[in-house]
Amino acid sequence: SGILDDLTLSARALADYSESLFNPTVRLGVTGLSRAGKTVFITALVHGFLRGGRFPVFESLSSGRIARARLAPQPDDGIPRFAYEAHLRTLIEERLWPQSTTDISELRLAIDYQRENGAMRTLTLDIVDYPGEWLLDLPLLHKSYEQWSAESLKLSRQSPRAALAAPWHAHLKSLNATDLANEAAAVTAAKLFTDYLRACRQEQFAMSLLPPGRFLMPGALENSPALTFSPLDVPEDGTPPADSLWAMMRRRYESYKDIVVRPFFRDHFARLDRQIVLVDALAAFNAGPEALRDLEGALAGILDCFNTGRRTLFSMMFRPRIDRILFAATKADHLHRTSHDRLEAILRRMVDRAASRAEFTGAATDVVALAAVRATREASVAHHGETLPSIIGTPMPGEISGGETFDGDSEAATFPGDLPDTPDDLFGRDGAFKGSSSAPPGETDFRFLRFRPPRLDTAQGEPALPHIRLDRALQFLIGDKLQ
Ligand code: GDP
C-alpha cells in the first residue's frame, strides 16, 4: 500500500496546494490526550475570533487589523463538524464543561484581515480536532509486532504499571505463544491488556504512553479482530510458527496499522500545517514523578512523528509539512499567577529533553502555560496567620474539599501551593525527576478540585470568555499568516 499511499498523498497535497494559492489556508491540528482540554480550547479560540476577545498579545486582532471572522462550510464532507454552537451554549448558559473529544472533527473559520501593507485578504483557518491517542499510534508504523510486544512488556513491568498489569501478566504466563491460535485466549488477553491501559489512565497514575489508542477509544471498531490482540512475551527477532497464537496476534497488529494508523496518517496528519499539543501537566504533577517521566516519553514519541531531520519512516513516506508545533500546558487557572512562568519552564525543560531523546530537528517549537477558559480569580487569603496567594472559583457540584461537599453555587478559595522555582528543583542535577512541592499540609490538593466555568456578565450582550495566555498561543500558531 506504500505506493498507493504516496499517490493519494501527492494528489491530496496538490489539491490542498492549489486551493491555498487562491485562498491562503492553514490547517491547524489540535490534539492532546483525552481530557487535556481540546474541546474547551477550540471553543474559546473560535469564540475569541467571532466575538473579538481580549487578546493583547495576538497582534492582528488587538491592533484592529482583523475586520471580521465567520464560520464557513468545512472542506471535508466525511469528517464530523466540531459542535461549536452546542459547546459554547453549555459553557456560557449552563456554566458546564462541554462534552469531550472522542473522535476527529473539523471547523472552518474565514478571517478577513488587513495586511500590514493595507491590502484586504482572507485567511482560511481549518481547525482539526483529534485525539492525542491517535498521534501516539504513529510510531507503531515502524515497529514490528515483536518489537512492540517487547517494548510494551518492558514498560508494563515498571512501577506503577506493574501492579496494574498483574492480571494481564498472569494470563500471559498461562499462554504459550507458539500453541495453535485460540480465539478465546486472544479475547481474554486483549481484554486484560485493555483493562491495564485504562487503569494507567486513572487520575492517580496519569500515565500518557498507552498505545494502541483505539483500545481506549474503540468507536465502531469495538470487538473487531483489529482490536483483539495483545503483546506476547516473544523474542524480538523471532518468527511465529504458522497458525500459532503468535501469528494470529501479529496479523491483527498489522491489520490495526492498515485499518487505523495508516489512514489517519494519510488522510489527516500529513495534511496539517500547524499543530498545538495540549498537555495536562498538572495532572501528571499530581500523580508524581513516574507520571512526569511517562509524559516525557509520550512527548518524545510525539516529536518523533514530526521529525524531518532523521530518516524516519514518516520522512520517507512523506515529509510532514507541519512547520510550527506549540506544546501547551492547559488549565493554568488552577495555579496562582506566580506559578505560570514556572509551569512553562518545566514544560519547556521536558520538551527539550524529549527533543534531544528523539534527536528532533524539524518544525519550530514553543511552549506556553494557558487556560483557554479561566474559571478562577486570584486573592490573598489569611491561613493560620500567614497570607497565602490563593485562587477562588465555584467548585463543580459534588466536589469535596476539607470535608465539605460543594453544591455548584458557592465559591471556595484554595491554596495552589508553589511549583518549584526552576526546573532544576524538579529534575535534580542528575536529570532524574524529584517530584514537586504541594499545597500546605492538611489541605486537599487543589488540582483535583474541578471548578465550574466562570459566571459572565451578559448585561452588555455576549461577553468575552476570560482566559490566560490564549493570545500568546494564537500569536505563535498563526500570527505570521496574518501579517
Ligand atoms: P478533551 O478531552 O481534550 O476535549 O478535553 P476537554 O476540553 O473536554 O476538557 C476536559 C476537562 O478539563 C473539562 O471538562 C474541564 O473540566 C477541564 N478544562 C479544560 N480546559 C480548562 C480550562 O481552561 N480551565 C479549567 N479550569 N478547566 C479546564
215 compared with 338, residue with greater pLDDT: 215
Q: What is the mean pLDDT of residues 344-367?
A: 89
- The residue whose CA has the least distance to atom 11 of ligand 1 is 35
Give the lowest-confidence range in 209-218, 332-341, 346-355, 413-422: 413-422
458 CA distance to ligand 1 middle (Å) = 22
Q: What is the mean pLDDT of residues 3-29?
A: 73
3 compared with 196, residue with greater pLDDT: 196
pLDDT in tens, 61-119: 999 999 999 999 999 999 999 999 999 999 999 999 999 988 999 999 999 999 988 88
14 has a pLDDT exceeding 60: yes
pLDDT value, residue 435: 47
The CATH 3.40.50.300 domain(s) of the chain lie at 23-135+267-372+468-482
pLDDT in tens, 33-72: 999 999 999 999 999 999 988 999 999 999 999 999 999 9
pLDDT value, residue 182: 94
80 CA distance to ligand 1 middle (Å) = 20
pLDDT in tens, 442-463: 343 445 678 999 999 877 788 8
361 has a pLDDT exceeding 70: yes
pTM: 0.91
CATH of 23-135+267-372+468-482, one of 3.40.50.620, 3.40.140.10, 1.10.3720.10, 3.40.50.300: 3.40.50.300
Q: Checking DSSP bridges between strand 105-114 and strand 324-329, what pairing results, if any?
A: unpaired
pLDDT in tens, 233-268: 999 999 999 999 999 999 999 999 999 999 998 899
121 compared with 439, residue with greater pLDDT: 121
Atom of ligand 1 nearest to the CA of 101: 4
Atom of ligand 1 nearest to the CA of 44: 23
pLDDT value, residue 441: 39
The ligand 1 site (C-beta within 6 Å) comprises 32, 34-40, 97, 100-101, 330-331, 333, 371-373, 375, 450-451
319 has a pLDDT exceeding 70: no
- Determine the 3-state secondary structure of 208 from DSSP: coil
How far apart CA 149 and CA 189 sit, in angstroms, is 13
233: Cα within 13 Å, side-chain hemisphere:
13
36 CA distance to ligand 1 middle (Å) = 6
Contact 477, 276 (CB under 8 A): yes
Atom of ligand 1 nearest to the CA of 129: 4
Q: What is the mean pLDDT of residues 185-207?
A: 94
311 has a pLDDT exceeding 70: no
- Between the CA of residue 49 and those of 61, 370, 384, 454, what are the distances in Å? 8, 17, 44, 19
This model of the complex carries an ipTM of 0.99
Atom of ligand 1 nearest to the CA of 373: 23
336 CA distance to ligand 1 middle (Å) = 18
- Quote the percentage of the chain above a pLDDT of 90: 60
Contact 336, 417 (CB under 8 A): no
Give residue 4's pLDDT band: very low, low, confident or very high (50, 70, 90): low
pLDDT value, residue 315: 52
56 CA distance to ligand 1 middle (Å) = 23
- Between the CA of residue 309 and those of 304, 312, 318, 348, what are the distances in Å? 10, 8, 13, 21
CA–centroid distance for 385 within its chain: 41
Packing angle of the helix pair 84-92, 38-51 (nearest 10 deg): 90
Longest dimension (CA), the chain: 74
Give residue 439's pLDDT band: very low, low, confident or very high (50, 70, 90): very low
Pocket probe for ligand 1: among 45, 97, 373, the residue whose CB has the most ligand atoms within 8 Å is 97
pLDDT value, residue 433: 55
Report, in this order, helix, strand and coil percent for the chain, each rounded to 5: 45, 15, 40
- Quote the percentage of the chain above a pLDDT of 70: 87
Mean pLDDT over all residues of the chain?
88
Give the full edge-to-edge strand order of the sheet including 386-393. Answer: 377-383, 386-393, 412-414
pLDDT value, residue 209: 84
pLDDT value, residue 458: 79
40 CA distance to ligand 1 middle (Å) = 6
Residue 122: CB atoms within 10 A of its CB come to 16
pLDDT value, residue 438: 44
pLDDT in tens, 127-167: 999 999 999 999 899 899 999 999 999 999 998 999 999 99
438 compared with 162, residue with greater pLDDT: 162
216 CA distance to ligand 1 middle (Å) = 19
Instruction: Write the DSSP symbol of residue 451.
Output: B
Give the full edge-to-edge strand order of the sheet including 105-114. Answer: 66-72, 105-114, 120-129, 25-32, 274-279, 324-329, 364-369
- Determine the 3-state secondary structure of 380 from DSSP: strand
State the cell numbers at 12. Answer: 491530496
